[in-house]
């Protein structure tokens, strides 16, 4: 199968590309112009082709032929800089997916897998897991990133009227070795190393079940076999508080974290893994295992 992957040079894109090629697929990797592709990503022209496109503004994919499936992973890197980079976030996270949908509708693409986010849900105050049928956010002014993900899902939902298979995956807090330091595990590790205080609630702490990268890669690969239209969470098997997660990271680093209790209740993002487990098997990596692998490999 010839598969187009947007965001192929990213944290999830690189191991997913390797996994797909190892399974005999041909990958067309769509990356930003000027992106440095690591040597260990170059598998040979027969199964790996690099295509440069800027997803900000208009772009054309009509020179790509024989694509059977599309996996959309691309997202704007500076999504936290709102409203400064809001146009770029909208272009990459929303508009680009509309252009891809329009292009795919005119081609032989039969399968689309879209990487959304667990942040599309309304967070909970308790420990009840979020299921795929729970309400999602509607234009949340406090989280433009989540809003952009909701809008992209709505665009791809238009495929329900098309003869194409569509899988929307909602990852919860992806983490793993070599992830950028601005993500949750990296930020906590930085605070622990610098001995900065980590704020935790004195009443109800934030809880989550983060997804180890290798579990996520398996789900994306296996999703190629799904037929029809479905939305699935992509979450880990372990539910932990921020305090517990930081403690595990500290243990892996050999440094005790410092905490500061605040009088503010935290929201929880716990993704139900019931549907995920039924379709792909249960997630393999607990948070303890994943954190240990992160810092073993990076150290």
* 122-135 pLDDT, tens digit each: 888 889 999 999 99
- pLDDT of 146 > 50? The answer is yes
Structure tokens at 278: 């039924």
d(CA 46, CA 28): 10
- pLDDT of 298 > 50? The answer is no
Mean pLDDT of 94-112: 92
Structural domains of the chain, count: 1
Band of the pLDDT at 61, cuts 50, 70, 90? very high
Residue 82: per-residue pLDDT: 60
Is 68 a domain residue? yes
Mean pLDDT of 258-285: 94
Is 9 a domain residue? yes
Mean pLDDT of 254-277: 93
Is 95 a domain residue? yes
Mean pLDDT of 274-298: 92
Residue 299: per-residue pLDDT: 43
Residue 202: per-residue pLDDT: 80
Q: Is 199 helix (H, G, I), strand (E, B) or coil?
A: strand
Structure tokens at 223: 């999703």
Mean pLDDT of 136-146: 77
- pLDDT of 297 > 60? The answer is no
d(CA 244, CA 37): 36
Angle at 212 between CA 230 and CA 292, to 5 degrees: 165
Residue 83: per-residue pLDDT: 65
SS (H, E, C) 103-167: HHCCCCCCEEEEECCHHHECCECCCCCECCCCCECCCCCCCHHHHHHHHHHHHHHHHHHCCCEEE
Residue 155: per-residue pLDDT: 87
- Are 112 and 95 in contact, with CB atoms under 8 Å apart? no
Mean pLDDT of 79-98: 80
Residue 158: per-residue pLDDT: 76
Band of the pLDDT at 180, cuts 50, 70, 90? confident
d(CA 233, CA 118): 7
d(CA 42, CA 32): 16
* Lowest-confidence pick of 12-16, 54-58, 234-238: 54-58
Is 47 a domain residue? yes
Is 290 a domain residue? no
Q: How far is CA 130 from CA 115, 120, 249, in A?
A: 17, 11, 25
Band of the pLDDT at 39, cuts 50, 70, 90? very low
pLDDT higher at 86 or 224 = 224
Mean pLDDT of 252-272: 92
Give the residue numbers spanning the domain of 161: 2-175+211-235+270-283
Is 186 a domain residue? no
Q: CA-CA-CA-CA torsion for 42, 171, 143, 57, nearest 10 degrees?
A: 30
Q: Comparing C-alpha atoms, which of 293, 185, 179, 204 is closest to residue 247?
A: 185
Is 257 a domain residue? no
Name the strand (E) or helix (H) holding 98. helix 96-104
How does strand 207-208 pair with strand 240-241?
Answer: antiparallel
Is 80 a domain residue? yes
Residue spans of beta strands (DSSP E) within the chain: 2-6, 26-31, 48-52, 69-72, 111-115, 165-171, 174-175, 197-201, 207-208, 211-212, 229-234, 240-241, 258-262
- pLDDT of 18 > 60? The answer is yes
Q: How far is CA 135 from CA 70, 231, 243, in A?
A: 27, 13, 28
d(CA 28, CA 64): 9
* Lowest-confidence pick of 65-79, 123-137, 147-161, 271-285: 147-161
Output the domain CATH number for residue 7: 3.40.50.720
């Amino acid at each position: 199968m010839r598969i187009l992957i947007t965001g192929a040079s990213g944290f999830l894109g690189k191991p997913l590309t390797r996994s797909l090629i190892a399974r005999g697929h041909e990958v067309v990797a769509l990356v930003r112009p000027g992106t440095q592709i690591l040597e260990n990503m170059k598998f040979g022209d027969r199964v790996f082709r690099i295509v440069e496109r800027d997803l900000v503004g208009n772009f054309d994919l009509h020179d790509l032929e024989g694509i059977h499936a599309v996996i959309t992973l691309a997202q704007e890197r500076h999504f936290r800089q709102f409203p400064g980079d809001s146009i770029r976030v909208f272009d990459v996270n929303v508009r680009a997916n509309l252009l891809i949908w329009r292009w795919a509708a005119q081609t032989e693409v039969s399968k689309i897998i879209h990487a959304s986010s667990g942040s599309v849900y309304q967070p909970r105050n308790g420990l009840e897991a979020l299921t795929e049928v729970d309400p999602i956010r509607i234009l949340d002014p406090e989280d433009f990133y989540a809003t952009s993900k909701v809008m992209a899902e709505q665009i791809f939902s238009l495929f329900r009227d098309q003869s194409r298979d569509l899988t929307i995956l909602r990852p919860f807090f992806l983490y793993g070795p070599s992830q950028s330091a601005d993500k949750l595990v990296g930020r906590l590790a930085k605070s622990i190393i610098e001995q900065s205080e980590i704020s935790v609630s004195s009443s109800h702490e934030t809880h989550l079940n983060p997804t180890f990268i290798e579990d996520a890669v398996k789900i994306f690969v296996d999703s190629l076999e799904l037929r029809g239209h479905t939305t699935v969470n992509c979450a880990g098997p372990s539910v932990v508080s921020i305090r517990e997660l930081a403690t595990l990271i500290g243990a892996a680093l050999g440094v005790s974290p410092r905490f500061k209790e605040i009088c503010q209740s935290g929201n929880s993002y716990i993704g139900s893994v019931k549907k995920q487990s039924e379709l792909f098997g249960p997630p393999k990596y607990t948070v303890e295992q994943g954190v240990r692998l992160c810092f073993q490999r990076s150290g």
